[in-house]
Amino acid sequence: MRRDVFQAIADPTRREIINMLANRQLNLNAVAENFNISRPAVSKHIRILTECGLITIQHQGRERYCKANLKKLKQVADWAAQYRSFWNSKLDALENFLNEEQTNNL
Amino acid sequence: METQPLIVERTLAAPVSKIWQALTDNEKMKKWYFQLENFEARVGFEFEFVGQGRKGEKYLHKCRVTAVEFQKKLSYTWAYENYPGSSEVSFELFPEGDSTLVRITHSGLETMPDSPDFAISSFTEGWTYILGTSLKQFVEEV
């Protein structure tokens, strides 16, 4: 199975976990209590998020805390930005074409 | 959380009729867009063209017209030969006096894994969720 940031956010439960952790650290139990799915299922999502580098688990005494590493998400934003810049360059070209067309018709 | 398409908008100083011609008249398209053999603004019309990647690689784009509303909207599928997935591009025109707001909507990008021009190996449903959340601001600040 693929392990990258895109795989991490492909699943709605995982997106929800990322959102929960976006502003605060939570221990594993607190994360699991938010979902109506089995504890092993939550653990599996946590494991995938960890393998994708989006969250890290820190042991504090007997507690295990999850912390989000949101910088990883920049990959997704960068990817989208490439398409954005492609279409912007096409709009530049269209704009230039329209300007030339107008000049030629004067 | 919903996924969102990529939207790029710009107001151009030309009436919708001129822009519609630029989008649908192949002789005009050649001057700013891509070199197509033929183009017809009718649903079902298929066309292809070679686009260049950032490293000079050539990719055959394969497209099929899916919507035509005269001077209002033109949509076609957008896929790469030898790559899975298919996205859709729409051009919408909104008159604003002598100018026109052009809106390009590119949806379904998440279906196109390993798109040739992107170093990232793959992407999936959910990639755009970043674009519409508070996380967006965060990642832009990083």
Least confident among B112-116, B119-123, B126-130, B134-138: B119-123
Domain hosting B92: range is 6-140
Kindly list the residues from chain B whose CB atom is less than 8 angstroms away from the CB atom of residue A22.
Answer: 134-135, 138
Residue B129 above 80 pLDDT?
Answer: no
- Mutation pick from A69, A79, A96 vs chain B, by most beta carbons of B within 10 Å, is A79
Please answer whether residues B102 and B12 qualify as being in contact, where contact means their C-beta atoms are separated by less than 8 angstroms.
Answer: yes
Residue (of A106, A96, A16, A1) closest to A48 by Cα position: A1
- CB-nearest to A80 from B14, B124, B128 is B128
Domains of chain A and any CATH numbers = 5-104 (1.10.10.10)
Residue B55 above 90 pLDDT?
Answer: no
- Report how many domains make up chain B: 1
CATH code for the domain of B62: 3.30.530.20
3-state secondary structure of B82: coil
* Alpha-carbon torsion, ordered A1, B118, A79, B74, to 10 deg: -110
Q: According to DSSP H, which parts of chain B are helical?
A: 16-24, 26-32, 134-141
Least confident among A100-104, B11-15, B20-24: A100-104
Residue B1 counted as domain residue: no
C-alpha–C-alpha distance, residues A5 and A20, integer Å: 17
- CB-nearest to A77 from B1, B8, B139 is B139
pLDDT digits (tens, 9 = 90+) for A42-59: 999 999 999 988 899 999
| CA dihedral for B23, B24, B30, B33, sign (positive or negative) | positive
Residue B110 counted as domain residue: yes
Residue B61 counted as domain residue: yes
